[in-house]
Amino acid sequence: MAARPTGPKLRATETYVAVVADVLSVEATIDWATLPQCGAAVTFTGVVREYSTGRSGRPAGGVVSIDYQAYESVARVRLIEIADAARERWAGIGRIALLHRVGSVRLGEASVLVCVSSGHRVEAFLAAQFCIDVLKACVPVWKLEQRAGISAWVETGVQIEGVERAASHWLPATYGRSS
């Protein structure tokens, strides 16, 4: 049996959600999501990058880490709702893992991880994109960017909304164009 990614498991055995301070294991998550009947496992890993767009709208470098804060109980519920919404759209989904870090995440480390397995690649890709796009719109997570001696809250660019509303507006080619 594949090792399960670390963190609290919620919902059915085919859905794994977690909001954790631990380093996210991409390999363990893919191992967990991979099933014999699924020919595809698509993973999205969001990592802390050196450059971001600050309040000026211009790229600013020197990011060394991001401190993530979340309304954790609501975040977990929203992650489950996102997985459920994906399953309503794509019946062939095998497993869904949605994980988000909290606490300090260093440059190059994963802050968010989405993995979707399904019988075929098209629905796995679409479902994974749907999950990360709706996650960014609905899950209450805030970022405090750390640069050499400077801390600044990052504007998310979206107002946090309910999963049902965000899911109803989602289109694969147009949603989630920002970081």
Looking at the predicted structure, is the pLDDT value of residue 179 above 80? no
Q: What is the CATH number of the domain that holds 86?
A: 3.90.1170.40
Over the stretch 136-161, which tens digit does the pLDDT of each residue have? 999 999 999 999 888 988 876 566 77
Looking at the predicted structure, is the pLDDT value of residue 162 above 50? yes
- Judge if pTM exceeds 0.75: yes
Inter-axis angle of helices 121-138 and 72-89, nearest 10:
150
Amino acid at position 3, single letter = A
In a domain, 92, yes or no: yes
What Å distances lie between residue 84 and 45, 62, 72, CA to CA? Answer: 20, 38, 18
Q: Which range of residues forms the domain containing residue 89?
A: 15-169
Going by DSSP bridges, is the β-strand pair 59-60/93-101 parallel, antiparallel, or unpaired? unpaired
* Total number of domains constituting the chain: 1
Q: Give the chain's mean pLDDT.
A: 86
Q: Which uninterrupted H or E stretch holds 110?
A: strand 110-118
In a domain, 104, yes or no: yes
Looking at the predicted structure, is the pLDDT value of residue 60 above 80? no
In a domain, 1, yes or no: no
Q: Which of 6-20, 93-107, 111-125, 135-149 has the lowest mean pLDDT?
A: 6-20
In a domain, 177, yes or no: no
Residue written as tokens 């979340």? 70
Over the stretch 119-138, which tens digit does the pLDDT of each residue have? 999 999 999 999 999 999 99
In a domain, 129, yes or no: yes
- Which ranges in 63-147 belong to alpha helices (H)? 72-89, 121-138
